[in-house]
Chain A
Amino acid sequence: EVVMTQSPATLSVSPGERATLSCGASQSVRNNLAWYQQKPGQAPRLLIYGASTRATGVPARFSGSGSGTDFTLTISSLQSEDFAVYHCQQYDNWWTFGQGTKVEIK
């Protein structure tokens, strides 16, 4: 099983600041990596697929990068609606998720 590891577990950021979230895979998943945003009581929302392609309707302040085993989600200027939990998921070899990173208001 491909193990996905996200860091940090919690990220405290002020509105308007940049947030950088990391996701690592225990083996190469090529670029078959997705990011999801989850707010309390809501369905997880697809943000990024193919490591760097934004899903329909996702603002340009969200960007993904990386390939192989190391991936990054960057939120260039945090808005109030961006405070949430972010999950990475690999779909190269079955489907496994990271533990999530909570982005909270500093």
Chain B
Amino acid sequence: QITLKESGPTLVKPTQTLTATCTFSGFSLSTSGVGVGWIRQPPGKALEFLALIFWNGEKRYSPSLRSGLTITKDTSKNQVVLTMTNMDPEDTATYYCAHMQGCTSMVICYYDYLGQGTPVTVSS
């Protein structure tokens, strides 16, 4: 059974750095074709792709948010970490991590499992 759980601060001050952790079970991020990504949903707005890391270490970042985003993985701990620098009130959102598999080409792949999300508010 694949599960993903997000954790991190619920409140971040403007200009600070957000560090969010996705801890997962039921799969290995060293298995070919597997990827774990981050998606967010601001209040009342659409879900938005942020970043994705594949089993082989390849990374993908949102073209509109590339600057300030870093995604890393710790395969031994079954964790993926998202770092966002210079947080702004517009970054207030629920942050989700998500799993994909069968993605050996690293394109044309969809998320099949998502976590429940962690709410983050950016405010002074």
Q: Which residue of A lies closest to B6 (CB)?
A: A43
- A55 and B112 in contact, given A43-B117, A44-B96, A94-B63 (Cβ under 8 angstroms): yes
Closest residue of chain B to A97, judged by CB?
B47
Residues in A72-106 with C-beta less than 8 Å from chain B: 87, 89, 91-92, 94-100
Residues of chain A with a CB closer than 8 A to B114's CB: 36, 43-46
Chain B residues packing against A (C-beta within 8 Å)? 4, 37, 39, 45-49, 60, 62-64, 96, 108-117
Closest 4 interchain pairs by CB?
A: A97-B47, A95-B49, A34-B110, A43-B114
A33 to chain B, nearest CB (A): 9
Interface residues of A (CB under 8 A from B): 1, 4, 32, 34, 36, 41-46, 49, 55, 87, 89, 91-92, 94-100
Residue of B nearest to A92 (CB): B108
Instruction: Give chain B's interface secondary structure class.
Output: loop
Q: When A and B form their complex, what is the total count of cross-chain residue pairs whose Cβ atoms lie within 8 Å?
A: 59
Partner of A99, one of B46, B49, B64, B109: B46
Which residues of B sit under 8 angstroms from A32, Cβ to Cβ? 108, 110
Residues B113 and A46 in contact, CB atoms below 8 Å apart:
yes
Complex Cα distance, B116 from A4, in Å, reads 23
Which of A55, A87, A91, A92 is in CB contact (< 8 Å) with B47? A87
* Bound: A36/B41 CA distance, A: 14
In the complex, A1 Cα to B49 Cα: how many Å? Answer: 11
CB distance from A50 to the nearest CB of B (A): 8
Verify B115–A43 contact, CB threshold 8 A.
yes
